Structure 1
């Protein structure tokens, strides 16, 4: 449970310092990045577990809005981003252990935990297994089990990523590669972001440039994560969370993890609140950056979430009994079991070349 600082310095855009640390969990090396404001933190450290393609620097807009006043920890778990592949293969239990190990190694007794997209199942399990370590839990783009459309979306994304990975030298800069990357990110964006200062086209271009610039092994980790943990599989355990203040947030126009999925997750957590962000898809933190930073700040400081013009009203969903929570997971199981079998049994040349050994 040791940690080693491999990089440190000042944050160029804020009155804060940053450190990048190397950690090890059961033979797998991984990293985290910490921002520490000079004037202290307005709340417990914000510990962020991102999705299957998020890395240490995937949250620039949130950093710029919060780094002056909130300690932030960005986790890049084993098997994600630039971190090592997991010895023995990825499991939710392994990723949960790696996250708790990071908290212990960094000396963080209690944190605010943000789990987004594919990182939400890990964050859920951390709060469930170690509730004493979690002051507040924020889940963004969470689902108990992806719907068939979302599974098909991930398979489409995988094919696009495979084409990018197999592009010849210099091919990533081609018009075709850029169009493929744009098609990839468009899946995750709302059809309109007119309510935001940044247009949908600008967001799509910026995200597409990031995808094109990703190294092959990072894209390989992304595909492996999706195939191993997401496509056609249960994402959340049947056991519910108790004793942790929780907000479940979803883009109103999210096609990957729609609001109905967010409500199912919220129903599994005692005393949780569900909200949907207007004019946003799956990439809420990019599509409505100012509003996302505002709701995060309000949640971390226990400020009111009522009457926000950019969100639907808070919904308090009474947690169901354990057997009802299990029933929620069973509701979509039959419709995706065949897809899981097909996914495990058929790998085209692009996807097999992408899978991390």
Structure 2
């Protein structure tokens, strides 16, 4: 039977906490999940359901997120990665599996570059490897609305900027996903003390997706209709990681973890237990197979 514990830590004087769902019959290293800039430790029930049977599941309110202390001014990557490494030490394990989605993908990638020996496997989804000037402008304007207390306009602008609204491209559960994302953004805007700072930091303190990575088995995946960063650009990013695999998930946009949550969790569990990806139910026949970044069928 799984056991949930929450522990408080600090790094550089900043307090934060993490949650661990223990699995007594685990088959792989703990799986730590990092999500969006406004997403905390209780936002991943699908990982509990599908990954929980094979591994301890770890989520966190990192500095500047959820119930944690705010981040100090200035670049945050080093402090956030130090906070994650401190969690690994507190878990008392030599290595973890690391799952990063969207904003969390940049953070997870940075951690793998800083301490690769601590990362058994790395899964990155919805990687914002390239953001256009028009996108930045839209989200900057959304941040201004939030700063002035216009939470409704903020939630609408951010949601529209993160989703594919083109009705000619099929996205599973599009309307449901839109309502859920907007409602989540509205809740964060009204209740999170970090909302304004988190959004502005995500826009200005951009992760560095260059430099490459070696020695860490890596899976990169994208919804086929991701309009934040196109699958082609995410595939190009994956090609900078030695031996990585890249997959597209059909009928999904940037919010693939919401539109096809159980399928993504299943794909993650397979990868972190060295299982076959070729039979994952989330893959269309055209992209089935053990795909590398050198295989043109990956996109």
**Superposition TM-score, scaled by structure 1 size:** 0.72
Question: In structure 2, what is the Cα distance between the partners aligned to 1:16 and 1:49?
Answer: 21
Taking the TM superposition and a 5 Å limit, the aligned residue runs for 1:159-198 are: 159-162=144-147, 166-167=149-150, 177=152, 181-191=155-165, 196=172
Matched, 1:301 2:273: yes
Matched, 1:32 2:41: no
Question: In structure 2, what is the Cα distance between the partners aligned to 1:206 and 1:263?
Answer: 28
> In the superposition, relative to structure 1, how do residues 16 and 153 fare at CA in structure 2: closer, same or farther (>3 Å)?
farther
Worse-superposed segment, 237-246 or 60-69? 60-69
1:213 corresponds to which of 171, 179, 187: 187
Distance apart, 1:309 and its partner CA? 5.7
Distance apart, 1:44 and its partner CA? 0.9
| Counterpart for residue 21 of structure 1 | 7
Work out whether residues 185 and 208 of structure 1, in 8 Å CA contact, stay in contact via their aligned partners in 2: yes
Taking the TM superposition and a 5 Å limit, the aligned residue runs for 1:132-281 are: 132-162=117-147, 166-167=149-150, 177=152, 181-191=155-165, 196=172, 199-214=173-188, 215-230=191-206, 235-236=207-208, 238-281=210-253
Question: In structure 2, what is the Cα distance between the partners aligned to 1:182 and 1:65?
Answer: 31
Distance apart, 1:194 and its partner CA? 5.8
> In the superposition, relative to structure 1, how do residues 295 and 257 fare at CA in structure 2: closer, same or farther (>3 Å)?
same
SS at match of 2:205: helix
SS at match of 2:184: helix
What are the ranges of 5 or more consecutive residues in structure 2 without an aligned counterpart?
A: 295-299
Distance apart, 1:79 and its partner CA? 1.8
SS at match of 2:15: strand
Q: Deviations over 1:269-291 (max 9, x none)?
A: 10001111111111111111121
**Superposition TM-score, scaled by structure 2 size:** 0.85
> In the superposition, relative to structure 1, how do residues 76 and 209 fare at CA in structure 2: closer, same or farther (>3 Å)?
same
Distance apart, 1:95 and its partner CA? 1.6
Distance apart, 1:160 and its partner CA? 4.7
> In the superposition, relative to structure 1, how do residues 28 and 122 fare at CA in structure 2: closer, same or farther (>3 Å)?
same
Q: Which structure has the greater CA radius of gyration?
A: 1
Could you say what the CA RMSD is over the residues aligned between the two structures, in angstroms?
2.4
Question: In structure 1, what is the Cα distance between the partners aligned to 2:223 and 2:56?
Answer: 25
Q: Deviations over 1:135-177 (max 9, x none)?
A: 11001111434232432342244245345xx15xxxx7xxxx3
Question: In structure 2, what is the Cα distance between the partners aligned to 1:69 and 1:222?
Answer: 32
> In the superposition, relative to structure 1, how do residues 188 and 143 fare at CA in structure 2: closer, same or farther (>3 Å)?
closer
| Counterpart for residue 293 of structure 2 | 317
> In the superposition, relative to structure 1, how do residues 253 and 156 fare at CA in structure 2: closer, same or farther (>3 Å)?
farther
